[in-house]
Amino acid sequence: MSPPRDPLYPGASFADRYTLGSVLESSATRATWSAVDGAASDARVTIEILSRRASTDAQTIERFRRAVAIGGRLDGPHFVRTLAHGEHEGRLFVVAEPLDGESLEARLDRYRRMGAGECLRWLADVANAVADARAAGVSTDGLSTKSVIFSRTGQSEVLKLVDPTEAWSLEHDGDDHRSMWAMASMLYRAVTGVSPTAGPDAPLAPSAVAPGLARALDAFFRRALSIDVERRFRSLDDFVLSFEAAAIGNDAPSLRAPRVPSDAPDDLFDAVIADTRARPWSTIFATVLSVAIVVLAVAFR
């Protein structure tokens, strides 16, 4: 006699409204599926379904409830929306909007480094998401390159912040130092290609790791990654604006051209990105001087 078929398989109906697609991720305790919601015009969703054993484990249930509570508090363009949750046939589940894209971790694995101007684009979004989470009373401790997802939405790219290690909590103490340290570590790896904790003398000055980076970035990271908390940046605004100032004119070459969404707003950060893509100031000055000499020569002929 063949063993009974697992009720979770591609094409199976779940909770009387969802049709399962493919497994996106799985472990011994849970599986994340792509699915369509038959009660919402077959809208695409993702469903995280816990195993029956995990659904009866006290610690797992507590983590599940905390994640659902956090998802219910977080709202905005940089978070994945929680659509529903419940229990079906002894399995806890949570339904969320689909997430198509790649993590910052995967992108750095492919390209190794990014230009400082390119980093500035996603840094602004991460900082806004951390601030929104803080306002909702959610701590984003545990941020990493796996937390930052570049999600595709039509022809544009939207950054989403996720909690892959379930380290976020509902006990925000109003201190963003840990989140800023994590953001500084992500930036350091992005502009240099290595982790700031790699090696016994880490972190080294970025210009010593990646020749061509200006000393303004060295100064930024010296403060952002200081062991002494009192020497670090006091606020997210100070952190972002200081990196912005260091990034202007110091765009390290990346292995691909920065991609700007077609609907990107014309704000301060886009202006900075444009500046970082422009020619070096020395080249611009030389061009202007050459034009001035030609004009004077014509005027006094």
Span 149-180, pLDDT tens digits: 998 766 678 899 998 878 888 877 767 888 99
Question: Domain for residue 2, yes or no?
Answer: no
Q: What is the pLDDT of residues 75-96, one digit of tens each?
A: 889 999 999 999 999 999 999 9
Q: By three-state DSSP, how is residue 257 classified?
A: coil
Please state, in angstroms and rounded to a whole number, the distance separating the CA atoms of residues 181 and 233: 10
What was the pLDDT predicted at 176?
86
In DSSP terms, 46 is beta-bridged to: 34, 96
Q: How confident is the model at residue 219 (pLDDT cuts 50, 70, 90)?
A: very high
pLDDT in tens, 41-72: 999 999 999 999 999 999 999 989 999 999 98
The verdict on 63 and 210 lying in the same domain is no
Give yes or no: residues 141 and 254 share one domain.
yes
87 plus 125 within the same structural domain: no
Check whether 276 has a pLDDT greater than 50: no
Among 209, 208, 245, CA closest to 224: 245
Report which DSSP code applies to 281.
H
Residues 120 and 267 in one domain: yes
Q: How far apart are CA 139 and CA 176, in angstroms?
A: 9
Measured distance CA(88)–CA(224) in Å, rounded: 47
92, 169 Cβ separation under 8 angstroms: no
Domain interval for residue 202: 101-277
Query: Would you give the distance in Å from CA 226 to the centre of its chain?
Result: 22
CATH number of domain containing 259: 1.10.510.10
The number of folded domains in the chain is 2
Is the pLDDT assigned to residue 188 strictly greater than 90?
Answer: yes
Is 210 found in the same domain as 80? no
